[in-house]
Amino acid sequence: MSARVFLVVFGCIFFVRGSELENELPGIEVPNRRVTKSLMLSNGLDWGKWGEVEYCSEGSFVQDIEIKFEDYSFLDTDETALNGVKLYCSKSDGHITEYVTSTVGTKGDWKGMKSCKNGLMTGFRARVLPAQGTIGDDVAVQNVEMECNYGESTVLAMDENVGIHDGTFGLWAKCDKDSAICGIEIRYNQVDLITDDAAVSDISMFCCALDE
């Protein structure tokens, strides 16, 4: 689905070439990059609010991922599972330029970088636990699996969780050929002391053209 993309930053207009976005999210601010597609989870939940969209700098693409996860505790009756995602941006020589995160929650720990060994990250899906009702513990997104180099291999952001009731992986969302993942937006269910917390409830990633 084609969408018109308008960008005005403090009076300066950035030129975005061929910005054909699928499943466009409202309020996306596109940088001076050729954004070709938005990738959405097929099983994301509509809890909480979308954070800021963050993109890799021009000419950089995602090759590594790291997630922030609250480990299962027998003493904690309100788990949150996934609390954040870091996508590490690299130039064509493999040099990491920065990372992008969107919203990051307060619980859990960063679990270490997982990398594509044979190219860039070109698609993703997530394990999501649906709503558990009034007596169950909602955790929403539990894990993320990334596609490497158009399906040559995949990598899990974290070894499969033990202790929290497992959700299911959704469908793959993939970049087109000659593009790769270059940005992220996180939907976050606010953590508090009263309600059943879920932290990260949905994720969107963005593809940019390799020949920009």
- Stated pTM of the model: 0.79
Sorted by where each begins, the domain ranges of the chain are: 35-209
Indicate the average pLDDT of the chain.
80
Residues in the chain, total: 212
The reply to whether CATH 3.20.20.140 applies to domain 35-209 is no
Q: How far apart are CA 152 and CA 123, in angstroms?
A: 11
* Residue 37 pLDDT > 80: yes
What tens digit of pLDDT does each residue of 85-96 get? 999 999 988 889
pLDDT value of position 77: 46
The three-class DSSP label of residue 157 is coil
H-run or E-run covering 199:
strand 199-209
What tens digit of pLDDT does each residue of 160-194 get? 765 566 888 999 999 999 999 999 999 998 765 44
pLDDT value of position 140: 83
pLDDT value of position 88: 98
Among candidates 99, 117, 119, which has minimal Cα distance to 175?
119
Lowest mean pLDDT among 26-35, 51-60, 167-176, 177-186: 26-35
* Residue 101 pLDDT > 60: yes
pLDDT value of position 20: 34
